[in-house]
Amino acid sequence: MIAELGHFALALALILAFAQTALPLLGAEKRDARLMSSAAPLAIGQFIAIAASFACLMWAYAINDTTVLNVVQNSHSAKPMLYKITGTWGNHEGSLILWVMILALCGLAVSAFGRGLPSTLKARVLGVLGLIGVGFIAFILKTSNPFERVWPPPPDGQGLNPVLQDIGLAMHPPLLYLGYVGYAVTFAFAIAALIEGRVDAAWGRWVRPWSLAAWSFLTGGIALGSWWAYYELGWGGYWFWDPVENASLLPWLIGTALLHSAIVVEKREALKTWTVLLAIIAFGMSLLGTFLVRSGVLNSVHSFANDPERGLFILALLMFYMGGAFLLFAWRAQAMAPTGIFAPVSREGAIVLNNLLVCSISAVVFVGTLWPMFADALFGAKVSVGPPFFNLATFPLVVPLLLAMAAGPLMPWKRAQLWPVVQRLWAAALIGFGAFFLALLLTGEHVMPAVGFGFAAWVIGAAITDIADRTALFRTRLGNSWARARNLPRAAWGAAIAHAGIGIVAAGMAGMGLAQEKLVAMAPGDTTEMAGYTWRLDGVRDTPGPNFTARRATITVLRDGEVLHVMQPSRRWFPIARQNTTEVAIRTNLLYDLYAVIGEEDSATGKAVIRIHYNLLAPWLWIGAFIMAIGGALSLSDRRVRVSAPNRKAALPQGAATT
C-alpha cells in the first residue's frame, strides 16, 4: 500500500509539474497575474508530492519490504539501519527521485525567496523548472519506477553493493545533485531571460547566488567522491580521469566560468550573451554527466550494471532541453546588447581570460571523455583515453590559469594598468619561487612536484596579498586594518579564500606527485622499509561484522625502533553480495597519510599481499576543496547578495507594472 501511495504521489507530481510549466509560462506571455501567481502553490504542491513519494520509498527500505523490487535488488534485512536509509538513494531509481526532489526544493526556494523578482521573470523561471521536472519525473515513471512490486516476495533482498555501504558515499550523491540541480536553476534563469529578451544587472544578481551555491555543493560532492575513491577503493590514488569522474568535473569547470562571468553581468552589464550561454552549457554538462553515468556507453572503472533504454531516454531529454535552449539562444541572443565597455586589461578582461582557459580545459576533458564513444560509433574502434592524455593536455592550460588567477582580483574594473598589479604581486612571486627552489632542494630531482609547490605558494600568496591590499595591512595602523577587514564585503573574503583553497589543492596534488608505494608479500613477523619507516606485519586474524566477515591485518609502523602507529587494514567478505571489499587503514597527521591495504592471502606460504603507501600532503586535497566550498558559502552570505532584492523593483519598473 505504501509503495502504491509513493507511485501515486509521483504521478501526481508529474501532473503538478506539467501545470507548473504550462500555467505560469502562459500567464507570463499574456501578462495574466493570476496565472503567473499559480506557480508558487504549484511548486509547493510538486515538492510535497515528490517528498511524499521519497518518504514512501524510504519507508519501504526501512522496513525492508521485499515485495518492492527495488528494495529486493538493493537492500537486505541484515544491513545496518543507517545504510538501509541511505540505500534509498544508493541506487539508480532512488537517486533519481532524490534528484527531482531537490529540483522541486529549488523551485520552492525560488518562489519563496524570489519576492523581489519581476513577476514575469519569476513565472518563467518556475515554468522552466517545471518543464525540467516533467522530463525527469516522466523518465522515472517510464523507465525507472522504484515502486514496482514483485510477487511472490523473495525471503530477503540481494543486499546493497558493499562498496556503497559507506557514510562518505551516502553523502556524495546528494551533494552532487545539489550542484547539478543548482545549474538547473541557472539554466531556468537563462531560458527565462532569453524569453524575456533582457539580461541586466538584476538578473546577474539573481543568477550569481545560485551558481555560487551549485558550485560550492559540486565542489564538496566531487571532493567527497574523490575521498571515497581514495579510502574505499584502496588504490592509493584520488583521481583517475575516469569518465564518471570527468562527468562531474565538466559541469564544475563550466560552472566555475559561469560563476565568474555572472559577476561581470552583475557589476558591469557586460558578457551577457556569454553568461547565458554558459548557464545553458553548465546544465547541459550536468545532464551529460547523468547520461554518461546511467547509460553505460563508456567503459568506466566505476561502472555499475545499467540499461540502454534509460540511456536513450536521458539522451532524448538532453537533446530536448539543449536543442530547445540553443534554438532559443540563436533566436533571441541578438536582443541582449552589452552596455558595459571595458579594456582588455581590466578585471573584466581577467575574467574573460579565466573563462577562456577554463572553457578550453573543459573542451579538452570533454573530447577526451567522449572520444571513445565517437570512435566506436564512427570507426568501430575500441579505444580508451587515459590519465596520460588528460595530464598532458590540461597541464599547459592550468599553468596560465594559475598565473592569471592571482592577478585578476587585484585589477580594477573597466580599465587597469598591468604594471602596478605586477608590482603588488612581487611578494607572492617571491614566495612561489622560494617554494619551488625549496621543494627542489628537499626532494632532489623531482621537478614537476616542485613546480606544483611553486604555483601553490604563488596562488596562496596572491590571495593573501589581495586581502592585505584591501585592508591596507602594514600601510596603516593595525587597528585600522582590522576595521577595514571587518568592513570588507564577504564576497571579497570568499573569493580570496576560494582562491587560496585552489592553491592548497594544488599543493596536495604536488605532494601526491611525491607519493611512494610498495607492494610486498609478508608473513607474520616480516618487516619492510619504506619512506623512512619500518612496517611490520604482526598478524592476520578473523573479525566478525554485522553483515560481513573480515580478515584484519595488524601492521605496526616504527621509526628508529619506536612504535608510531598500529594500523589495521582489513578485507571484508560480504556473503549476501558474494563480494570482497577492501578496508584501507589510514593514519594521517594532516601533512602526510600512511596508507595500508591487505590483499589476498596465500594459504600455502601463509603470506599476505600488503600494499603500503606514503602519501605526502594527501589530506590537503580535501581540505583545500573544503576551503573552496567554504569560500563559496561565505561569498553567498554576502550582504549584497541577500539584500539585493528590494533594489530590483526600482531597477525594473516593467516587472512592477505587470503585477
- Provide the binding-site residues for other proteins, judged by CB under 8 A: 161, 163-164, 233-235, 296-297, 299, 301-305, 338, 341-344, 352-353, 356-357, 359-361, 363-364, 367-368, 371, 380-386, 388-389, 392-393, 396-397, 519-522, 528, 577-582, 597, 599-600, 602, 605, 607, 609, 611
Q: Are 249 and 221 in contact (CB under 8 A)?
A: no
Q: How far apart are CA 498 and CA 624, in angstroms?
A: 9
Give whichever of 8 and 389 is closer to other proteins, judged by the CB atom: 389
Beta strands in 448-526, from DSSP E residues, in sequence order: 516-522
**Residue 18: alpha-carbon gap to chain centroid:** 29
Give whichever of 64 and 528 is closer to other proteins, judged by the CB atom: 528
CB of 450 to other proteins, least distance (A): 23
**Residue 495: alpha-carbon gap to chain centroid:** 18
CB of 154 to other proteins, least distance (A): 17
Q: How far apart are CA 60 and CA 58, in angstroms?
A: 5
Q: How far apart are CA 220 and CA 282, in angstroms?
A: 17
CB of 123 to other proteins, least distance (A): 33
Q: What are phi and psi of 167, to 5 degrees?
A: -70, -35
Q: How far apart are CA 509 and CA 395, in angstroms?
A: 12
CB of 522 to other proteins, least distance (A): 8
Give whichever of 133 and 289 is closer to other proteins, judged by the CB atom: 289
Q: 410 is written with which cell numbers?
A: 587585484
Give whichever of 350 and 439 is closer to other proteins, judged by the CB atom: 350
Give whichever of 20 and 275 is closer to other proteins, judged by the CB atom: 275
> In degrees, to the nearest 5, what angle opens at C-alpha 303 toward C-alphas 68 and 86?
45
CB of 520 to other proteins, least distance (A): 5
Could you count the other beta carbons within 10 Å of the beta carbon of residue 651?
15
Give whichever of 438 and 609 is closer to other proteins, judged by the CB atom: 609
CB of 306 to other proteins, least distance (A): 8
Give whichever of 41 and 344 is closer to other proteins, judged by the CB atom: 344
DSSP three-state, residue 518: strand
Q: Name the DSSP letter for residue 571.
A: E
DSSP three-state, residue 181: helix
Report how far apart, in Å, the C-alpha atoms of 627 and of each of 353, 368, 568, 631 are: 24, 29, 30, 6
CB of 373 to other proteins, least distance (A): 10
CB of 313 to other proteins, least distance (A): 19
Report how far apart, in Å, the C-alpha atoms of 8 and of each of 1, 13, 574 are: 10, 9, 35
Q: Are 459 and 445 in contact (CB under 8 A)?
A: no
Q: How far apart are CA 355 and CA 408, in angstroms?
A: 12
Give whichever of 203 and 535 is closer to other proteins, judged by the CB atom: 535
Closest CA to 53 of 182, 173, 147, 167: 147
Residues in the chain: 659
CB of 393 to other proteins, least distance (A): 4
Give whichever of 513 and 569 is closer to other proteins, judged by the CB atom: 569
Give whichever of 189 and 228 is closer to other proteins, judged by the CB atom: 228
Q: Are 555 and 610 in contact (CB under 8 A)?
A: yes
CB of 342 to other proteins, least distance (A): 7
Report how far apart, in Å, the C-alpha atoms of 280 and of each of 132, 251, 284, 349, 362 are: 13, 11, 6, 22, 15
CB of 579 to other proteins, least distance (A): 6
CB of 300 to other proteins, least distance (A): 9
Q: How far apart are CA 499 and CA 504, in angstroms?
A: 9
Closest CA to 202 of 261, 269, 275: 269
Q: Name the DSSP letter for residue 163.
A: G
Q: How far apart are CA 575 and CA 291, in angstroms?
A: 32
Give whichever of 383 and 472 is closer to other proteins, judged by the CB atom: 383
> Residue 346: CB partners within 8 Å, gap ≥ 6?
411, 412, 413, 414, 415, 416
CA-based Rg of the chain, rounded to a whole angstrom? 27
Give whichever of 164 and 318 is closer to other proteins, judged by the CB atom: 164
CB of 581 to other proteins, least distance (A): 6
CB of 163 to other proteins, least distance (A): 5
> Residue 106: CB partners within 8 Å, gap ≥ 6?
129, 181, 182, 184, 185
Give whichever of 154 and 344 is closer to other proteins, judged by the CB atom: 344
Give whichever of 399 and 447 is closer to other proteins, judged by the CB atom: 399
